[in-house]
């Protein structure tokens, strides 16, 4: 299906992540910017969580050994097929032997390459994801990421031609409102990150919580797929001793030094630091494209409000998927 020719930083085959494995200490994992990942698959009219390639930072090149349709979403990047420029978020017809090149620019960190095909890769916990720390998952089943020379198998869905109606960019008026609205929040000057208070929030004084939401925090260099360490006003928990508890995606831990850590996809399953609250999943997708040095501001939200917003966005994605699926003309 495709052969990896260049990876300058990190590339992995990803999907939604594992289910049912956290009880044994395995991370959930999954796409860092799940929204752009779903979006790429929706544009191709295929199941939102179909495995795709996640490119984190820098440059990436691969060559396709079969004709297929692909779509790339995510960070601002210079995309080209055999030297010819293509756009983000546009389904593109690829011929045998053509090379895709991605050169990330200054906005965002993660790109998704969705292929209109059934990509074949070993499964662990119902997922193709690789977690390096665990030495589990991925194409070699040992947690290693994609490297030059790696070959990913797959069966493309035959497509005859690309209907012009399939193509549009993120600000297009034909995109559902819910999607256009959330996409516009991706590159704000200071990103507003919604957090709902939970876990040990009642062990923080009102003053501490007020300070937590009053000033912005900076994303430090200490960030990876496991967590994102922030720098800013230290806040302190009145409860010092805590037995380990299961950590939810987006949980914000407050360690001894008072500097918050946002737990991400490859986080450890249990942790012993107090947790002040949980960042909502839409904000976690936006954080997926956030780089060190950027500022974020916490805003208190309600869990149900966050859930409803997310369900609306997912509904919009499903509608887009249905529309795109109809417009592809297939060869038998």
Partner 1 sequence: MDLPLMNIYSSLTPVFISPFLSAGRVGESSLLISVVSPLEDCSGVSSNTSADKKLMGLTLIEKNNLLTDVQQFIRINQPSWLNDLVLSYECLLLEYNDQYINHYQVLQYLQSLLKANTKAPKANASAKKNNALKTHVVSVCYNSTRGPDDRERVLAHTGLSLSSLIRVHSQNPYRIFAVGFMPNFAYLGELEESLHIPRLANPRLNVPAGAVAIADNQTAIYPSKSPGGWHIIGYTPIDLINHPDFVFEAGQQVKFEAISIVEFNEYVSPPKKQALKNA
Q: Which residues bind partner 1 (CB under 8 A)?
A: 19-26, 28, 51, 119-124, 128, 133-136, 141, 196-203, 239, 241-251, 268-271, 278, 280-281, 299-304, 306-307, 310-311, 314
| CA–CA dist 44, 82 (Å, integer) | 21
Min CB(18)–partner 1 separation in Å: 9
Structure tokens at 251: 């949980």
| CA–CA dist 34, 196 (Å, integer) | 20
- Residues 201/208, Cβ–Cβ less than 8 Å: no
- Between residues 160 and 246, which has the closer beta carbon with respect to partner 1? 246
Cβ-count burial of 86 within 10 angstroms (0-12 exposed, 13-18 middle, 19+ buried)?
middle
- Residues 159/329, Cβ–Cβ less than 8 Å: yes
Min CB(35)–partner 1 separation in Å: 14
- Residues 274/237, Cβ–Cβ less than 8 Å: yes
- Between residues 314 and 327, which has the closer beta carbon with respect to partner 1? 314
- Between residues 26 and 60, which has the closer beta carbon with respect to partner 1? 26
- Between residues 166 and 287, which has the closer beta carbon with respect to partner 1? 287
Min CB(198)–partner 1 separation in Å: 4
Structure tokens at 49: 């969580």
Structure tokens at 105: 């620019």
- Give φ, ψ of 244 to 5 degrees: -55, 145
| CA–CA dist 184, 186 (Å, integer) | 6
Structure tokens at 82: 């055999």
| CA–CA dist 224, 132 (Å, integer) | 12
- Dihedral sign for Cα atoms in the order 168, 173, 177, 183: positive
Min CB(136)–partner 1 separation in Å: 7
Min CB(310)–partner 1 separation in Å: 7
- Between residues 53 and 77, which has the closer beta carbon with respect to partner 1? 53
Min CB(111)–partner 1 separation in Å: 23
- Between residues 278 and 316, which has the closer beta carbon with respect to partner 1? 278
Min CB(14)–partner 1 separation in Å: 13
Structure tokens at 53: 């390639």
- Between residues 140 and 231, which has the closer beta carbon with respect to partner 1? 140
Residues paired with residue 194 on neighbouring β-strands, in sequence order: 299
């Amino acid at each position: 299906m495709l052969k990896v020719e260049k990876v300058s930083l990190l590339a992995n085959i990803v999907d939604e992540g594992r289910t049912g494995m956290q009880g044994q200490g395995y991370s959930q994992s999954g796409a860092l910017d799940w929204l752009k990942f779903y979006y790429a698959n929706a544009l191709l009219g295929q199941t939102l969580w179909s495995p795709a390639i996640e490119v984190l930072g820098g440059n990436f090149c691969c060559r396709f050994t079969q004709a297929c349709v692909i779509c790339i979403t995510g960070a601002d990047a210079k995309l080209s097929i055999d030297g010819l420029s293509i756009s983000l978020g546009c389904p593109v017809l690829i011929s045998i032997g053509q090379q895709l090149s991605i050169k990330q620019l200054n906005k965002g960190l993660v790109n998704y390459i969705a292929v209109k095909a059934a990509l074949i890769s070993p499964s662990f916990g119902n997922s193709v994801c690789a977690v390096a720390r665990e030495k589990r998952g991925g194409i070699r089943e040992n947690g290693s990421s994609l490297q030059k020379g790696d070959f990913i198998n797959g069966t493309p869905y035959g497509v005859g031609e690309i209907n012009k109606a399939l193509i549009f960019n993120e600000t297009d008026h034909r995109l559902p409102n819910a999607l256009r609205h959330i996409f516009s929040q991706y590159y704000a000057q200071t990103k507003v990150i919604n957090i709902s208070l939970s876990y040990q929030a009642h062990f923080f004084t009102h003053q501490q919580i007020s300070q937590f939401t009053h000033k912005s925090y900076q994303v430090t260099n200490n960030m990876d797929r496991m967590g994102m360490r922030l720098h800013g006003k230290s806040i302190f928990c009145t409860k010092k001793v805590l037995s380990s508890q299961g950590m939810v995606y987006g949980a914000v831990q407050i360690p001894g030094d008072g500097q918050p850590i946002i737990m991400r996809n490859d986080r450890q399953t249990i942790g012993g630091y107090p947790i002040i609250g949980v960042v909502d999943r839409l904000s976690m997708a936006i954080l997926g494209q956030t780089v060190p040095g950027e500022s974020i501001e916490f805003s208190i939200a309600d869990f149900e409000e966050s859930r409803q917003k997310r369900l609306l966005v997912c509904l919009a994605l499903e509608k887009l998927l249905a529309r795109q699926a109809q417009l592809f003309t297939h060869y038998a």
